[in-house]
Structure 1
Amino acid sequence: MTILLSLLLLLMKTTICVVALTVLLSYTVAWYERANSSPALIDRRFTTRGIGIAFWLLIQETGCLLLTILLRPLGWQQPRIPDSKDSENPPVILLHGLFQNRSCLLWLQRRLKEAGYQ
């Protein structure tokens, strides 16, 4: 059992590291391209405030990407389609983007249900 938990922990750490490195690489390329488009931006990028904002954005993006990866298998379940005959409200159709599945809309689906939609 401890070997299984060790492997699971190793898999989680590896996933987090890969996600963080992917985000860091994409931000580095975007930062480089943006800074080279206007030389005046380079001075603003390397201030304490600019680096702090960039670090905070990296943390947020890493968390969002990790959450998306973890929720992805939930989109493979068959959706429960409610009977629309009992409802007076028109249905709300949520359409995900390319290369995504219905798990990307779980948060929006929950908020719509709280607002009274089906």
Structure 2
Amino acid sequence: MARSFLVLLGLLLSSCILLVEEPERPVQPVTPVRPGLVTPGPGSFTYRCSGGTLVVNYLDSDTLRLFYDGAFQSLSLVRRSPTLLFSGGAYTWEWNGSRGTLTVRGQVVLSNCGL
């Protein structure tokens, strides 16, 4: 009986397939884009700010329009580093890649703006 069991066990084990998983390949880290170096857009973005909401329409990498003081304001890129700085007349929009600030005539009117 023991011999029959060993023969049966041997037959069963010889028909087993050993599955071996491939070792995991290391994942290459993705290098994030540095904030302040890339202009958002083109497109329309709604920012929630301390003091209200602001919609900014990035027309291209150097120009944007925003609606403030009852009219559309056009601003042009004047600085790219360390933050993006758009200016036009009395209006300035500063974006560091995660937070923005709208200044009108030297006074901050919307701050801590985020998507």
TM-score, length-normalised on structure 2?
0.22
Q: Which structure dedicates a bigger proportion of its chain to helix?
A: 1
* Structure ID, larger Rg: 2
Higher relative contact order (CA 8 A, sep 6+): 1
Q: Which structure dedicates a bigger proportion of its chain to strand?
A: 2
